[in-house]
């Protein structure tokens, strides 16, 4: 399973058909061996994900979506930035993070390495991994690919970046994003129809959808809230994020942070709709420090299987 899904690669809705195993890079820029830029405990996810001890994040380099304002561009635009690992190495990293106290194992931007992620979860479960797994994605996913993760992923943490096709085209060259992401979220909800938490409030399974509010695009977020609530009601949680940090050289309106008025407008709309299951971010989180440094922390895992 691990190799053949990479060649020709149709792992994501770009469906490039690139022969990644044969050394050809697709739109995501990745070849067929996972590259990890960071593996560490992370305290800045939603409270039931980070908990008190941190989420065991594993950041994959490269990305198929390529948003012009990417908040993780240091790694998304550099598919070779970091360490190469195989499924065994990935499983050992997961076990190391669990040993450090991670509440969960959080795969960040994993879509283009989905076959390795699935195989590594199986290996790690066989070796004692007991914490939940989190699939932390931009939301641009194919339903039949997500079905392969059923039973392996406990928590889905997708973005719903765009409800407006023109904006998806302009910022991510993906006019089909709104419909594709909604179908993907529906599949995630099919796999986990309700959110479950431990007595201590740590998430065990379910779906949290993230809405990163973009400057000048509050209408996009409000429509996203309406569509999500009309489709999924209280079976999901929605996280409304204010942390957008403009990368250098962005054109207006992406060259500024989200204003307090814009954020209030989005949150007010969620309240008006009657959304109860929402995470609202403190405005102080809108700092560059919210974005983790890459290449700074790395769990050794199993040196045998690092490449
Ligand atoms: S994962 Fe990468 S190579 Fe595969 S279809 Fe998507 S962009 Fe293309």
Q: Report yes or no on 305 lying in a domain.
A: no
Give the bridge partners for 212, in sequence order: 241
For a substitution probing ligand 1, which of 7, 14, 29, 79 has the most ligand atoms within 8 Å of its CB? Answer: 14
- Residue 1 is predicted with a pLDDT of 44
The response to whether residue 28 sits with its C-beta less than 6 Å from ligand 1 reads yes
Does 256 fall in a domain?
Answer: yes
Q: Is residue 214 in a domain?
A: yes
Domain residue limits at 128: 20-300
Residue 106 lies in a domain: yes
16 close to ligand 1 (CB < 6 Angstrom): yes
Q: Does 274 map to a domain?
A: yes
Cβ atoms within 10 Å, residue 265 = 15
Residue pLDDT, tens place only, 47-92: 999 999 999 999 999 999 999 999 888 888 889 999 999 999 999 9
Nearest residue (by CA) to ligand 1, atom 1, is 112
For residue 64, is it within any domain? yes
CATH of the domain at 223: 3.20.20.70
pTM for the structure as a whole = 0.93
Tell me the per-residue pLDDT of 15-49, one tens digit each, with 9 for 90 and over.
999 999 999 999 999 999 999 999 999 998 999 99
- The reply to whether ligand 1 has any atom less than 6 angstroms from the CB of 64 is yes
Give how many domains the chain has, as a whole number.
Answer: 1
In a domain, 10, yes or no: no
Q: Does ligand 1 come within 6 angstroms of the Cβ of 9? A: yes
Tens digit of each residue's pLDDT (9 = 90 or more) over 107-161: 999 999 999 999 999 999 999 999 999 999 999 999 999 999 999 999 999 999 9
Asked if residue 19 has its Cβ within 6 Å of ligand 1, the reply is no
Does residue 9 lie within any of the structural domains? no
């Amino acid at each position: 399973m691990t190799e053949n899904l990479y060649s020709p690669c149709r792992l994501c809705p770009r469906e490039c058909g690139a022969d990644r195993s044969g050394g050809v890079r697709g739109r995501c820029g990745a070849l067929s061996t996972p590259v990890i830029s960071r593996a560490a405990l992370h305290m800045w996810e939603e409270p039931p994900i980070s908990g008190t001890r941190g989420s065991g994040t594993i950041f994959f380099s490269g990305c198929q979506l390529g948003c012009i304002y990417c908040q993780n561009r240091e790694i998304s635009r550099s598919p070779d930035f970091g360490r190469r690992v195989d499924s065994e190495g990935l499983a050992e990293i997961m076990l190391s993070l669990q040993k450090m106290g991670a509440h969960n194992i959080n795969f960040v931007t994993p879509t283009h390495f989905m076959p390795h992620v699935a195989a590594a979860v199986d290996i790690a479960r066989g070796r004692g991994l007991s914490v939940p797994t989190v699939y932390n994605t931009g939301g641009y996913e194919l339903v039949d690919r997500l079905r392969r993760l059923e039973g392996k992923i406990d928590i889905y943490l997708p973005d719903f970046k765009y409800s407006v096709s023109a904006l998806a085209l302009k910022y991510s060259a993906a006019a089909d994003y709104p419909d594709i992401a909604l179908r993907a979220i529906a599949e995630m909800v099919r796999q986990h129809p309700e959110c479950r938490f431990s007595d201590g409030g740590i998430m065990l399974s379910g779906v949290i959808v993230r809405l990163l509010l973009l400057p000048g695009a509050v209408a996009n977020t409000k429509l996203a809230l309406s569509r999500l609530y009309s489709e999924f009601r209280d079976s999901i949680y929605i996280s409304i994020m204010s942390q957008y940090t403009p990368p250098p050289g962005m054109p207006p309106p992406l060259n500024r942070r989200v204003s307090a008025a814009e954020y209030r407008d989005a949150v007010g709309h969620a309240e008006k709709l009657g959304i109860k299951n929402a995470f609202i971010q403190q405005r102080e989180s809108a700092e560059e420090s919210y974005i983790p440094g890459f290449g700074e922390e790395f769990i050794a895992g199993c040196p045998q299987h690092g490449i």
